[in-house]
Structure 1
Amino acid sequence: MAQVIRTPLAEQAADLLLDRIRAGEWPLGSKLPGENTLGPQLGVGRSTVREAIRRLAGQGVLSTRQGAGVFVAALDIVEDWSAVLRKVDIDSVIEARIAIEVEAVALAAERWTAAELRAIRHAAATRDAQRTDIEAHVDADIAFHRAVVVASHNPILVDLFDSFTPRSRRAMIDLLRLRGEFGSDADQQAHLRILDAIADRDGRTASALAREHLLTLTTG
């Protein structure tokens, strides 16, 4: 039987228990042996076993039932629910952005004025310059997309975009923090390709590029 050989002992004990659960030693819903049995198997004391069980219970793998014992609740670590909920919200935001922006991009390609095209180009340049701070980058990104929506000449789409912006901003910041990176050259080039299609008054291509870009943001 594998023994705990490094500290922290509780973390090592939890890892060993998880390995045994993953290997199928205890099926889903089955009861674990008591602390007096697990302790010698793992080479640790009862208090360390209790801490290891608490760790795995906090990760959704084990469930402690008062007076009954400890049971296998999952066969692997359950993802942090706060992260799950953030991802659900991000994906919902992206779906809404697709509904608003893909159509707005197509209309902008048909309807832009010279002043509006200059505004979109300026927003793209500002976005390119904001690659070091997440919040500043997201604000510059929103400004770019808003300039496109304004060029659609559809006030309802503009109102929808503006009313949606606070939630969209929070979701995009969460997304970039979850990813751990932002402001790549590829991402900026994707926006420039959308801009070029708008400038060429190619609504079909602009719309397709906008949809493709937004779909790359999903967390699934």
Structure 2
Amino acid sequence: MEEKKIYTVETLIHVDFRDHVKLRPQMYFKDCYTENNLNSILIGALCHAIDEHIDNKCDEIFIYASGNSLKIKYNAGMSLEKSLNLTKAESIMTKIGACSNEKKHLQVGHEFCHLGMAVINAASEKAELKTVWNKQNGYFLFEKGHIVLSDFSKSDFSEESTTINFEMSKEIFGDFTFELNDLQLKLNLLKEKLPNLEIKLYK
């Protein structure tokens, strides 16, 4: 008869969520492994832009996808307001659950934020965030989900914007890439739900 394992507080091991993403990527990115591409990551990466769109602050998104790299640019800023020593932008990109918690519209979190920006960032080899918000520039560089550089300055521009670059980890995803024809189909479905949001995919 097999002996039952007894778990105690002493036997529990805390694993940082970034490490857990690497250990169990198929749990987080099930659709990627089902479809054998990276396309499902895109919709999750648009959740902040969609939240701002529903708040009438974003009406255009430009997307550039090539190989395992994804660039998103849209005309709304990611907040640089400080909360617990981090800007909201940093929290969204590095704290699991923060992406959903910072949403202004619950339906966005429910429908478009299944992954969360921090999980996508954790599965990236490197990522870069540039944002103009409230006449401030914010620049952040991440490696495997960790902040390695942050810089703030006054902005010469009054128009707000956000640009995010992800280079997805080949260690996690192997040879998976963004497949543009299927990606366009996913975006067409998104446009049907959000007809007033201009979305352009550049090949």
TM-score by length of 2: 0.32
Q: Which has the higher helix share?
A: 1
Structure number with the bigger relative contact order (C-alpha 8 A, sep ≥ 6) is 2
Larger radius of gyration: 1
**TM-score (norm. length: structure 1):** 0.30
